[in-house]
């Protein structure tokens, strides 16, 4: 049973009565001074501050999500661009390789043609030298044979002139 319902609580000599009266006076003064409004205002201000912080956190979260989506889109675009650049580089490398092969084949063909011309020139020069040497040998042999026959015969000036011209005409 509560103490304020008992009869001895309302005795003026009881300290509980005075504590109760003091409490009621204090509560009355606090109400008259506007403490409840002040406490409610402080609590409302704190609630508003917390709500604004929550709103700011929500706004920051939305910005972060938008930024994350933008970064992901940029990354996807960069990946696509990198793949396209790699494909273009590979295509360029294949083209350059084919062009290099063509240039190499052309260079080899030119060198082969040059070597064949040099060989043909060397063969022609060697053939001319062999023909000249054969003509010289034939002229010397003819001169020797004719000289041996002529020694046994008398000398003919026309024959001597013809023998002298054989060496120059064969060259």
Would residue 27 count as lying in a domain?
A: no
Check whether 119 has a pLDDT greater than 90. Answer: yes
Check whether 84 has a pLDDT greater than 90. Answer: yes
Number of domains in the chain: 1
> Which residue in this structure is represented by tokens 């704190």?
46
CA distances from 33 to 37, 104, 138, 143 (A): 9, 104, 153, 160
Would residue 117 count as lying in a domain?
A: yes
Q: Is the pTM of this model over 0.95?
A: no
Would residue 135 count as lying in a domain?
A: yes
Say what the pLDDT of residue 30 is.
Answer: 87
Range of the domain at 133: 34-170
């Amino acid at each position: 049973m509560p103490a304020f319902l008992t009869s001895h609580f309302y005795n003026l000599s009881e300290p509980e009565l005075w504590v109760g009266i003091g409490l009621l006076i204090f509560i009355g003064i606090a109400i008259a001074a506007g403490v409840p409004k002040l406490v409610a205002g402080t609590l409302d201000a704190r609630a508003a501050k917390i709500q604004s912080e929550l709103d700011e956190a929500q706004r920051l979260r939305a910005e972060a999500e938008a930024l994350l989506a933008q970064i992901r889109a940029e990354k996807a675009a960069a990946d696509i661009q990198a793949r396209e650049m790699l494909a273009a580089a590979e295509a360029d490398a294949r083209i350059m390789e084919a062009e290099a092969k063509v240039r190499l084949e052309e260079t080899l063909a030119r060198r082969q043609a040059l070597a064949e011309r040099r060989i043909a020139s060397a063969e022609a020069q060697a053939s001319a030298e062999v023909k000249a040497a054969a003509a010289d040998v034939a002229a010397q042999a003819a001169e020797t044979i004719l000289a041996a026959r002529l020694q046994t015969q008398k000398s003919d000036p026309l024959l001597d002139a013809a023998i002298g011209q054989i060496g120059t005409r064969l060259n």
